[in-house]
Amino acid sequence: MGSITLQKVSKVFGEAKVIPSIDLDINDGEFVVFVGPSGCGKSTLLRLIAGLEDVSGGKIVIDGKDATEKAPSERGLAMVFQSYALYPHMSVRNNIAFPLKMAGVDKAEIDRKVTDAARVLNLTDYLERKPRQLSGGQRQRVAIGRAIVRQPSAFLFDEPLSNLDGALRVNMRLEISELHQQLKTTMIYVTHDQVEAMTMADKIVVLNRGNIEQVGSPLELYSRPRNLFVAGFIGSPK
Ligand code: ADP
Ligand code: MG
């Protein structure tokens, strides 16, 4: 569970060919980072995988099955939005439980899954609080908790830390990496931050104008960049 293959995936918005054609294999359990400058198509590619946008061409295969035409909820993936996507009037418990309630899961199972997720994310003591009573990092963990309870075959993150400040960002990077080690679930993580890519990824996908410039481990990209774009991008942290 958790393998994703893109075959000649393309996306056109009006006249703009935002993604000309992408082939990519993501293996079960991998931590894959999509990195590239603003506007290069990272979010679009993630949204295509999630099913939040329809492809203009090509095929998306998830766990061996053609998912190109499947609705987002049928793909077995969980998208983690930035922490401000929490429901402010609901407790942490109800925020995490929300997708399970929507899916009609019975109460005992919801309670068990929320308890398990809270334990993994160190939120056990915060379940009855409202989002505004939490720190930025705790809110981010609640957003992740809402994804965990659905036991997805992959987590999709779109710049989840971009509205957190310096020290907290570093902390959350570590927490997400640790979560990946614990759950061993495929994660696709979008960022424009080279440091984030280099420190978190098993595999980095460097994007430029909707094309893949190079795919490789952080070490491979650093020691054998295929071209000047990759060398410049990976070699020059902000
Ligand atoms: P990134 O996440 O790498 O910053 P995006 O995937 O958001 O880049 O955007 C890539 C390009 O596609 C940009 O030029 C953006 O303006 C364009 N784009 C994204 N979504 C839409 C849309 N819904 N309609 C038209 N153009 C879009
Ligand atoms: Mg984006």
Give ipTM to 2 decimals: 0.98
Instruction: Classify each residue of 27-43 as buried b or exposed e, where b means 16 or more C-beta atoms within 10 Å of its C-beta.
Output: eebbbbbbbbeeebbbb
Contact assessment for residue 187 and residue 26, using Cβ atoms and an 8 Å cutoff: no
Q: How far apart are CA 14 and CA 220, in angstroms?
A: 36
Ligand 1 pocket by Cβ (under 6 Å): 13, 16, 18, 36, 38-44
Q: Let me know if 109 is exposed, middle or buried by CB neighbors in 10 A (0-12, 13-18, 19+).
A: exposed
- Mean pLDDT split into 10-residue runs, the chain, 238 residues: 96 97 98 96 97 98 97 94 84 96 94 95 96 91 93 94 84 92 96 93 97 97 94 72
Tens digits of residue pLDDT in 158-214: 998 887 888 888 988 999 999 999 999 999 999 999 999 999 999 999 999 999 999
Nearest CA to ligand 1 atom 15: 39
Give the strand pairing for 65-66 and 57-62.
antiparallel
Q: Which of 13, 56, 159 to mutate to test the pocket of ligand 1 (most atoms within 8 A of CB)?
A: 13
Q: Which of 12, 18, 35, 56 to mutate to test the pocket of ligand 1 (most atoms within 8 A of CB)?
A: 18
For ligand 1, what atom is nearest to the CA of residue 210?
10
Q: Longest Cα pair distance anywhere in the chain, in angstroms?
A: 55
